[in-house]
Amino acid sequence: MKRNIKKVSKIVNELTMFLLEHQSTNIKVGVRNFDDKVVITAVAEDIEKMDIAVTNLKKSLSYPRTREIEEYCWELTGESETESGLAIVGSMVDEATIDYDETQLYVQLTRLIKK
């Protein structure tokens, strides 16, 4: 249980760092716990070079969840100076939804909980 909480915390940290690195002026992050999943949402405003940021985010989060990689690499998230930490996040979530317009970026990450 505690290990899963730490993993969710690392995911939130990595996503927040990405948004801050892209000069967002306002970031709202939420975490909802359900019996079978955790849903992380982020809404960021005024991202610098939105199209490039979204392309990088989609690429990084497109990796399928891989429990083996997750077990060995989750502690590395938040420690990298590159966007490789987001690729690890991609391997730690089951679903990623990204939507945006000219001023806002919306990200929803879903992590299923294995019972």
Position of tokens 């966007």? 83
pLDDT band at 3 (very low <50, low <70, confident <90, very high): confident
Report which of 56, 39, 44, 54 is spatially closest to residue 94, judged by C-alpha positions: 39
86 to 1, 24, 102, 103: CA distances (angstroms): 23, 17, 23, 22
Paired tokens of 15: 């996503």
Share of the chain above pLDDT 90, in %: 60
pLDDT in tens, 84-115: 678 888 888 999 999 999 899 999 999 999 75
Q: What's the whole-model pTM score? A: 0.86
pLDDT in tens, 57-87: 999 898 888 777 776 666 665 555 555 678 8
pLDDT of 81 reads 57
Q: Cα torsion at 85, 90, 92, 93 (round to 10°)?
A: 140
pLDDT of 48 reads 87
Give the mean pLDDT of 32-49.
95
115 to 1, 7, 8, 66, 112: CA distances (angstroms): 10, 16, 16, 17, 9
Domain 2-112 in this protein, CATH class: alpha beta
